[in-house]
Structure 1
C-alpha cells in the first residue's frame, strides 16, 4: 500500500480493529494513509498528518487545502514537527509495540498473559475489556518469553534461594517444595539493597581514584616547580662557573703574555745596545783600516795614540736573555678555579641541605629494639652503651649481640629527614633499614641485607657500607649527621650538617618494605666511646 496516495483519487478502507475509533484513539493515525504517523507534522489549522502524505496530497492538488477541515492556504504553509506524536514513536533502546505495523510506537505496558507489549493505542482493550482486565501488566520489557516458566507456562513470580533461580508457583510446590522460596519482590528488595551498597562502594572507589588523580596531578605540579627551580639554580651555578673559567683563562693568558712582553722588551734593549756598539766598532774599524794604509810615518804615530786611548767595548759574555718560567702558572690558575668551584659547590650543598631539612620528621628510639647494653633516655632521643647488661624481656625485634637500636617511626612512601649528633664518638653507625632485617647473631650491614648506612671506626675511618665498601675521605669530622630518604626515588643521602657537605648517597635503591631509622652507638670501649648518639631537633642551617 502506498501511504502517500491521493485519498480523493483512491478509495480508503479502514484497517482491522475499528475499536480504535470507538475508544477515541484515532489521534495517532494519519487521516490520509490511515496508519500510525510517520514523521508527524502539524498544519497551521492544527491537524496532523504524515509529512510525506500531506506533502504529496498538496503536490497532486491545485490548492493547499486541509484534508480534514478543508481550510484553504493560499501560499503553502510551513509544516511544524509534532513533537508530542514524535515522542510516541519507538527509539533505540525502547521497547516497541508488538501490534503496530509500519512505524511502531513505544510500548506503554507488557502483558505476561499475552506475552506481548502494547503502545497506548493498542493497550486500551486491556484497560476496558473485562476479560483482558485480569491480565498481568508490567512496565514494558523485551524478551517476555524469558519471564514465563518453560515447564509450566506460568509467570516467574517467585525466587528459589536454594538454587538461586526464578520459579513459578507450580515450581515452588513441585520441584522446589523443600527449598527456601520467596516472592520476587522480596528478593528484589534484598538484591537492590546489595546493589545500592555495591554502588556506594563503587562511587567511593571512584572518588578515591579521582582524589588520587588530583594527588598525582599535584605531584606533577610540585615536580615541575622543583624542576624549574633546579634549572634556575643550575643555570646560575654553571653561568658563574663559566664566567669564573673565562676570568681564570683571561688572567692566565694575560700573565703569560705579560711575561713574554717583558722578555721581548729586555731583548730589545740589549739588541739596541749591541747595535749601537756595532756601529761604533765599525766606525773605529774604518779608521784603523785607513790608518794602517797610511805611509805618513808621523801621521800614523800621532793617530795611533788616539786610537789606543778609545774606550773599551762592553763585555757581553755573561749577558743573556732568559725565557721566563711558566712553571706553576696553569696549576695556580686551576687552583684558583677549584677554589671558586668549591665556593659554588658549598652554596649548592647549603641550598640542598636546606631543601631536605623541610622533610624533617620526629624520630624517637624504640626500646623494644634496643640491645640490652644500650641505655636510652626517657624521651627516646639519646642512646649510649654501658658495661652492664640490663635484664630485659626477650623480643623478636631486639638486637643481640649488636649494639643497635631502631627508630619507632616507619616510612613506606614519600621523603623524610632526621639529624643525629655523633660528636665525641670514635665509632658509630647511622642509616635506615628494612623492617624485616636480621637482628640476632652476626649481621651484615649492606643494602643486600636491608641496611643503607655509613659508619665510623677507629676515630677517623669513615665508610659507606656498599658492596664492596666505599672508604670516605672527609675534610672534617662530622659532629652532626643528617639522613635523608626519598622512598620513591630510591635515594638515601648523608650530610655533614655543620659544613652543609654531602657525605655520601646510596642511589637506585629498591624499597619494598617499611623503612626505620637505624642507629648504632657501638660498645663503650673503656669509656673512649661513651658519648651518646643524640637525635637532634632540625634547625635550618642556612
Structure 2
C-alpha cells in the first residue's frame, strides 16, 4: 500500500523494511498489530501486505538499501534514529494500536542507542551524506536508481540494468544476482515504489546544500547552527524552523555558496556604479568644457558682429542690436540648458556615489550573517542610485553668426537688390557627356538626347552626371549662390580637386565630397555617413554656399532668408572645387530645370 508524503525525510520515516516490523518509526509489531496510524494491518510475516514471512528463528532485518538510508539522512539533518524496541515504536511508550504485554524471552529488549548499520559513523555528516547517495546507486550502472526493482535476495537494481544483465546470460540458462550471485530459474522483478519515491525526493531536494553547509554559522535559538540561505528571499533559512514548502520553488543554497554568490553580485553592482560614476564625471567635464567654449565663442562672436557692423560704418545699428539680442537669447538658452544638465548630473553623481558608499560598507562587513541579513533592504536602499548617462546636447548655433555677415545684413534690408554674379564658372572639361552648359558656363542642365561626342579625359565624370567649378580654392573666404528653383533632384557642394571622377562615386567626406542633396522630390540631406536629414520648412529656391578655407568651415544657407542649413567642419587637405549635379531629368517633365550659379561679391 502506498502513502503520499511531502518530503524525503517522511519517505524514509515510512519506508517498509524487513519482515516482521516497520523500520524506523513504529510499523507493525511481531504480533501483526499496526504500530502507525493510517497503515493497513500487515500479516505476521512482514511490514506491508504481501511481504515475505520472516524465517523461523531468524531476527527480522531491513532490506539493505533502505536500511542504510536511515542513518545517512538522520545524521545529515540532526535527530538520531533509534532502533525499534520490541514494545512498539522507536519513541517512548508503546506506539498507537500496539499491545503493551512483554514479548517472549526469545526477543530481548534492545538498549536505546543510535542506530548504526556499519560504514561511516553517524556522527560524520559528510561521510553519511556520501553513504546516503551511494545507497541510491545501482551497482550495475553506478547511477541513481531508475525504476528500481528488487530480487528475491533483496538486492535492488534499475529495471533496465538487470534486464540487460539477464539478456546477456540467456545462453547459460540461469540468471543470477550481480551482487550475491544467487541464481533464479524464473526470477520475478518486484517494483520498489517506495524506493522510487525516495530517489525522486532525493533528486529534487537540495541535499548538497544542506550537507555542504559546515561553515560556522549563527545558531538558531531552537536548533543547530543555521546552514542555509534562500537566494530568492535573500534570507537565512533554518531547515527546522522554516517550513520547507515555503521555499520549495526557491533557490536555496549553503551560506558558503550564498556568501560567494552575493559577494559577486555586489561587486558587479559596485563595478556598475563605479562605471556610472566615471561616465558622469566625464560627462560633467565635457559639459564644463563646452560651457567654457560657449562663453569663449560668444565673446568672439560679439567681436565679429561688432566688426561687421563697423565695416558698414555703423549705419545699421538697429540691425546690430537685433542680432546681438538674438545672440544673447541663444547664449542664455544654451547656457541655461548646460547649467541645468550640470545640476542634474551633479545630483545624479551624488546619488551614484552614495550607492557606491552603501555597497562598499556592505562589502566591508566580514561577518557572514550581518552581511547576509541586510540583503533584503539593500535593494531598496539602492533604488534611484544608478542612472544612465545618455548625455545629449545641442551645439551652440555659431553658424548663425558667421559667414557673410555684411552681405546677410545688407540683404535683409534690401530684398530687391540682386547682385551681379562674381567670376565663378563651370569647367566644361569636367562635365559628364549628358550635361549641357551655357555659353558663359554658369548654367548646367541634364540633356535627354544622346551623349555629346566629347573627348574623354581623366578630369571628366563618366558615370555621375556632375561638373566642377573652374576655380580651385586653397585659402580665403568665398561665397556663392546656386538657383535650384523648380527642381526635384540636385547635389551642391565642394569636391577635392584630386577626387575620383570615374565610375560610381559615393558622395561623402571620406571620398573627398562635402555636399547637400535634394532627393525624393522634397527631402533635403547632408551627404554625411550616414546622411543627415535637414530641417527645411519651405522648398528651397536658392542655396548659399560659404567657404572659410582657413577655418575649415563650409556652411550652407537658404539664400532667400539666410537661414542656416548645415555646416561641415573639416581640415581640408588640398585644393577644393565647387561641385554641381543637376540630376537626371524625366520625360514627364520633372527635374528639367537647370542649376544656375548666382555668384555674389562680398
Same fold (TM over 0.5): no
With normalisation by structure 1, the TM-score equals 0.37
With normalisation by structure 2, the TM-score equals 0.33
- Name which one, 1 or 2, has greater alpha-carbon Rg: 1
